[in-house]
Structure 1
């Protein structure tokens, strides 16, 4: 399928994407949640699955694909990934400060409802309040948050409710979106040019 054809087709499917997202969110929040918890949000993976399914697009696995076809596949999948991330972020308030305040309230509610979460979540709550002054320092803040969440998920108390796990996943997903990804490229150290050669 040509890239232009796909884009035209997907434009007509976008209403179906929105309907599927509304339905999935409503199913998620139909569960009995305690006061102070919710609404829960869809994960990045859940949204990506809805977007890809609604697009009807599957990568052609033929071995004899042309370079143009391979490039089209790449551009379409990249576009779907970007759209999924934007739809994911659209679930949150417009400013990072508002998102942090919301996560802070969620963590306080989780600790109130499940006191055994106080110890693992206390460092996360403190990290929400870290001030940042640039895009890079904001990225580092969220990199730290992501690392913290990944570190505690396997060591949570046995009485941790499912909705707490979803909220922690929300923090991890949001943090991943806010982290600047840099490619680590192996490079040789440059050889210093030294004009200051000692006299013989």
Structure 2
């Protein structure tokens, strides 16, 4: 499928995407949640799956795809990834400080419901309050937050309620969106400008 064809089809299908997102959110929040928890948000992966399937896009598994077909498919997937991330972020307030306030309220609710989380959540709550002055410092704040939450999720006991896992996953997903991704490329060391050798 060409990019232009896909875009025309997707515009027609976008109402179906929105309807599928609304249904998934309703199903998520119709669960029996304790006071102070919710509304829960869909994860980035859940939104991406809905966007791809409700939008009518399927990966072409043919082995004989041309270079142009592969490029079109790559462009479509890149566009869908971007759209999915924007739809994910659209679930949150407009400013980062408002999002941090919401997350802080969520953490307080979790501690009230599961007092054993007070100690592991304390570093996360402190990180919410870290002030940033640039896009780079904001990215570093969220890199740290993502690392803290991922470590916490790895150490939680098996009996941790699903709603607690979802709230923590929301923090991790949002932090990942706020982190500047840099590609690591293998580079050869530069050729020295002289042949001096460091003393042994």
TM over 0.5: yes
1:54-73 to structure 2, matched below 5 A, reads 54-73=54-73
For 2:3, the equivalent position in structure 1 comes to: 3
CA drift of 1:117 comes to 0.4
- In 2: Cα distance, 1:128 partner to 1:135 partner: 16
For 1:41, the equivalent position in structure 2 comes to: 41
Give yes or no for the alignment of 1:27 onto 2:27. yes
Do the aligned partners of 1:43 and 1:173 also contact (CA within 8 Å) in 2?
Answer: yes
TM-score (norm 1): 0.93
Most deviating of 27-36 and 157-166: 157-166
- In 2: Cα distance, 1:60 partner to 1:9 partner: 16
For 1:169, the equivalent position in structure 2 comes to: 169
For 1:146, the equivalent position in structure 2 comes to: 146
CA drift of 1:154 comes to 2.1
Do the aligned partners of 2:16 and 2:55 also contact (CA within 8 Å) in 1?
Answer: no
Q: Which runs of 5+ in 1 are unaligned?
A: none
CA drift of 1:3 comes to 1.3
TM-score (norm 2): 0.93
- In 2: Cα distance, 1:118 partner to 1:11 partner: 46
For 1:115, the equivalent position in structure 2 comes to: 115
Q: Give CA-to-partner distance per residue, 1:5-60, whole Å, 9 cap, x none.
A: 11101101000111111111011111121221110000001101110101211121
Q: Give CA-to-partner distance per residue, 1:141-177, whole Å, 9 cap, x none.
A: 1111111111111212455221110000000000111
* Cα separation, partners in 2 of 1:39 and 1:72, compared to 1, 3 Å: same
Q: Give CA-to-partner distance per residue, 1:95-152, whole Å, 9 cap, x none.
A: 1111011001100110011100001111100010011111011111111111111111
CA RMSD, Structure 1 to Structure 2 (Å): 1.5
CA drift of 1:189 comes to 2.7
CA drift of 1:67 comes to 1.3
- In 1: Cα distance, 2:137 partner to 2:187 partner: 25
CA drift of 1:66 comes to 1.4
Aligned with 2:155: secondary structure? coil
- In 2: Cα distance, 1:34 partner to 1:59 partner: 40
